[in-house]
């Protein structure tokens, strides 16, 4: 429960910083770089966590197949929904 409240606090804090323009312009220009750096860090930590769990490694062939199926349907669904929304808006 504490983690959820912490996540909500962090998101709210970021929202308020942006809403009241409390982030310096210099930092705003670096946002894309910071997001990319954070993403790479997160992926590295996730990779470490997965690689160190023997149970996941044993189930990897089965999990890998399920992951491919879920990823394919997610991508196709996103493309389909995007096309539907843009056709309704007339932004072709």
Q: What is the pLDDT of residues 47-89, one digit of tens each?
A: 899 889 888 888 878 878 888 899 999 999 999 999 998 887 7
Residue 88 lies in a domain: yes
Number of structural domains the chain divides into: 1
In a domain, 70, yes or no: yes
Q: Which domain holds residue 89?
A: 59-92
Residues 6+ apart with CB under 8 A from 38: none
The residue among 63 and 42 whose pLDDT is bigger is 42
Provide the 3-class DSSP secondary structure of residue 30: coil
In a domain, 17, yes or no: no
> With 60 as the cut, is the pLDDT of residue 92 above it?
no
For residue 84, being part of any structural domain is answered with yes
d(CA 15, CA 25): 16
Q: What is the mean pLDDT of the chain?
A: 88
Mean pLDDT within 12-39:
87
């Amino acid at each position: 429960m504490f983690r959820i409240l912490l996540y909500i606090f962090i998101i709210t804090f970021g929202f308020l910083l942006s809403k009241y323009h409390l982030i310096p312009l210099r930092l705003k220009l670096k946002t894309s770089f910071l997001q990319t750096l954070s993403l790479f860090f997160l992926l590295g930590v996730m990779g470490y966590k997965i690689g160190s769990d023997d149970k996941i490694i044993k189930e990897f062939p089965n999990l890998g197949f399920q992951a491919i199926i879920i990823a394919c349907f997610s991508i196709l669904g996103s493309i389909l929904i995007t096309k539907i929304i843009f056709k309704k808006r007339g932004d072709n």
